[in-house]
Amino acid sequence: MRRREETHRRLQAEIAAEKAAALGRAGEQLEVALREVATCATRLLAARDPAERVNHVEAYQRARARALQVRQWLLIQREALGLRRHAVVDQQFPEPPTVAHLLGAAS
């Protein structure tokens, strides 16, 4: 009986470690996606040529959409682990602004 309990305890610890690692990977993926959004925002705000600006708007929108998708995956991962409040995610990983808000804030 003791051996079975020890096996169960180790298995539970391994599952908990994998859950934490998966959550960490989701956070890391979001950090990468948000860095890409920031890079695209910098390029967009620096663009002066109208054609170049259109290209940067499109790139920013794609990067923002990707970041929002990855952020949603993180929220789903958290909820699957029983973490229902996402204020910490909102603080640490805020949604990137829309193009209109980005350009409006820059004016």
Tens digit of each residue's pLDDT (9 = 90 or more) over 77-104: 899 888 889 899 999 999 999 999 999 9
Cβ neighbour number for residue 64 with a 10 Å cutoff:
22
Instruction: Give the other-Cβ count within 10 Å of 52's Cβ.
Output: 13
- Cα dihedral across residues 95, 99, 101, 106: positive or negative: positive
Domain map of the chain by residue range?
Answer: 2-106
Crossing angle for the helix pair 50-80 and 99-106, nearest 10 degrees?
120
- In this model, does residue 1 exceed pLDDT 90? no
pLDDT tens digits along 33-78? 999 999 999 999 999 999 999 999 999 999 999 999 999 999 998 9
Confidence at residue 45, expressed as pLDDT on a 0 to 100 scale: 95
Please report the pLDDT score of residue 31 as a whole number. Answer: 96
